[in-house]
């Protein structure tokens, strides 16, 4: 290859840079950019061309610039990891001196390699900066840690209750049959909660893996809302919450798996009732969006609301907004659900090509909205 005169080595070198899986920038001793690949342009959000631009103009992190200067002055590889801002953007940076001639260039007493005396040292003219974006990896590590912590907590609490109840039952079974029966019922409640948690975990895993087949067919939007209304009305009445519908006229059909979408609506209404004080109102509605291509479904309540800083996380697995918001007599230990319902809802809606969002104001209530594609439309 060294003797192949047909090769345009500058072009070959640029293609080699583009083949690198990471952003790479080649600079000289004055921090002037000589070569770069497109990945570096995207990562740094810089405007091309970058040849001749000073590195200091596109990288403003002083710690990173110091790392580059250390590599230049020492003539050695330098590595470091940096978190750029509060958003959690994390980079692993490697600065490597490049020998541009076979055997390198030597100069006397100009640049030192670590000692404080002068002497003959290897001087490099060019340096390669490779940047590995660790942001997604760090996010996945955080998700994994949160998942383990959350599942441990969710399983430990009811298991501890079952153990305590079983010990108490053992003492009461021969002396107080009524109390023993009460403890048995409480154990059954905790076991039911555990079973529900495991079932939802398995269901979420199957949905995320694409193993749940979606039977997509035309379904009347109004019919979906009316059926969920009828199903949830007894629960609303039991908790003294008014349940209403708000449906646009017209037989609008959406492309949906009716069973899965009904499950999403039931979960949203269930949560709305849970977080709405007695005397409040929960509204289930649907309307055609502008353009006529998508149908909007919403569940609006007059409940306690969700703090703004919690809104971006409500669709995460196991995330629970303020536990003190729910009615203590509603469901499960402490009136709390599994923290998986909204994560399942998000995946189901997205599997239909839709999007789910939430708006809320503390003390005034919340509105959960999702969209589905329209299948067909006919007037009544």
- When pLDDT is averaged across residues 34-55 and rounded to a whole number, the result is 89
Query: 9-101+121-134 architecture in CATH?
Result: 2-Layer Sandwich (3.30)
d(CA 214, CA 344): 14
Ramachandran class of 365: left when φ > 0, alpha when ψ lies in -120 to 50, beta otherwise: left
pLDDT band at 380 (very low <50, low <70, confident <90, very high): very low
pLDDT 10s digits, 191-208: 877 777 777 777 777 777
pLDDT 10s digits, 270-307: 999 999 999 999 999 999 998 889 999 999 999 999 99
Q: Compute the radius of gyration of the chain from its Cα atoms.
A: 31
Please count the other Cβ atoms lying within 10 Å of the Cβ belonging to residue 271.
24
d(CA 40, CA 49): 12
Q: 135, 156, 106: which is closest to 43 by C-alpha?
A: 135
- Please, are residues 50 and 36 in contact by the beta-carbon 8 Å criterion? yes
Residue 323 — φ and ψ, nearest 5°?
-65, -25
In the beta sheet, which residues pair with residue 374? 254
| pLDDT at residue 195, rounded to an integer | 77
- Six-digit token string for 124: 């490099």
**Most confident segment among 44-48, 259-263, 340-344:** 259-263
Contacts of 224 (CB under 8 A, 6+ apart): 254, 256, 258, 261, 262, 265, 286, 297
Least confident of 79-88, 112-121, 280-289, 351-360: 112-121
| pLDDT at residue 102, rounded to an integer | 58
- Please, are residues 118 and 112 in contact by the beta-carbon 8 Å criterion? yes
pLDDT band at 376 (very low <50, low <70, confident <90, very high): low
| pLDDT at residue 240, rounded to an integer | 94
Q: CA distances (Å), 125 to each of 73, 99, 131, 315, 378, in order?
A: 11, 8, 20, 51, 73
| Delimiting residues of CATH 1.10.287.130 domain(s) in the chain | 139-209
CATH 3.30.565.10 holds for 217-323+333-373:
yes
Please count the other Cβ atoms lying within 10 Å of the Cβ belonging to residue 20.
13
Question: What is the overall mean pLDDT for the chain?
Answer: 82
| Delimiting residues of CATH 3.30.565.10 domain(s) in the chain | 217-323+333-373
| pLDDT at residue 242, rounded to an integer | 96
Share of the chain above pLDDT 90, in %: 41
pLDDT band at 122 (very low <50, low <70, confident <90, very high): low
Least confident of 134-143, 215-224, 352-361: 134-143
In the beta sheet, which residues pair with residue 122? 106
Please state the length of the chain.
Answer: 380
Q: 150, 188, 167, 203: which is closest to 347 by C-alpha?
A: 203
Predicted TM-score (pTM) of this structure: 0.57
d(CA 108, CA 94): 27
| pLDDT at residue 1, rounded to an integer | 53
Q: Is 121 helix (H, G, I), strand (E, B) or coil?
A: strand
CATH 1.10.1740.10 holds for 139-209:
no
User: Is the pLDDT at 332 greater than 50, yes or no?
Assistant: no
Q: 232, 230, 234, 224: which is closest to 262 by C-alpha?
A: 224
| pLDDT at residue 44, rounded to an integer | 86
- Please, are residues 355 and 377 in contact by the beta-carbon 8 Å criterion? no
User: Is the pLDDT at 98 greater than 80, yes or no?
Assistant: yes
d(CA 77, CA 96): 5
| pLDDT at residue 256, rounded to an integer | 94
User: Is the pLDDT at 330 greater than 80, yes or no?
Assistant: no
| pLDDT at residue 97, rounded to an integer | 93
| Delimiting residues of CATH 3.30.450.20 domain(s) in the chain | 9-101+121-134
């Amino acid at each position: 290859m060294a003797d192949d005169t047909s090769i345009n080595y500058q072009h070959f070198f640029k293609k080699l840079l583009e083949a690198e899986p990471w952003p790479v920038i080649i600079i000289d001793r004055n921090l002037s950019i000589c070569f770069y690949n497109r990945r570096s342009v995207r990562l740094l959000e810089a405007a091309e061309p970058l040849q001749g631009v000073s590195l200091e103009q596109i990288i403003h992190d002083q710690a990173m610039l110091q790392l580059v200067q250390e590599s230049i002055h020492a003539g050695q590889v330098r590595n470091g990891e940096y978190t750029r801002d509060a958003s959690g953007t994390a980079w692993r940076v490697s600065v490597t001196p490049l020998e541009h001639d076979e055997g390198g260039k030597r100069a006397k007493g100009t640049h030192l390699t670590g000692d404080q005396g002068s002497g003959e040292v290897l001087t490099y003219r060019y340096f390669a900066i490779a940047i590995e974006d660790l942001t997604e990896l760090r996010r996945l590590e955080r998700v994994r840690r949160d998942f383990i912590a959350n599942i441990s907590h969710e399983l430990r609490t009811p298991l501890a209750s079952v153990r305590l109840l079983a010990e108490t039952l053992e003492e009461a079974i021969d002396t107080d049959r009524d109390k023993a029966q009460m403890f048995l019922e409480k154990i059954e409640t905790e076991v039911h909660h555990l079973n529900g948690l495991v079932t939802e975990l398995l269901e979420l895993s199957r949905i995320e893996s694409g193993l749940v087949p979606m039977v997509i067919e035309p379904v009347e939007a109004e019919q979906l809302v009316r059926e969920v209304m009828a199903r949830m009305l007894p629960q609303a009445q039991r908790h003294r919450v008014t349940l209403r519908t708000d449906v646009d006229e017209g037989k609008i059909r959406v492309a949906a798996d009716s069973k899965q979408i009904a499950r999403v609506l039931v979960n949203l209404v269930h949560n709305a009732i849970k977080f709405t004080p007695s005397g409040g109102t929960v509204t289930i509605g649907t309307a055609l969006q502008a353009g006529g291509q998508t149908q909007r479904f919403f569940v609006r309540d007059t409940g306690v609301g969700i703090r703004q800083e919690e809104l971006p996380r409500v669709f995460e697995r196991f995330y629970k907004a303020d536990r003190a918001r729910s009615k203590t007599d509603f469901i499960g230990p402490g009136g709390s659900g599994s923290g998986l319902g909204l994560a399942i809802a998000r995946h189901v809606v997205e599997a239909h090509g839709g999007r789910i969002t939430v708006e809320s104001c503390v003390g005034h209530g919340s509105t959960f909205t999702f969209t589905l594609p329209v299948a067909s439309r006919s007037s009544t």
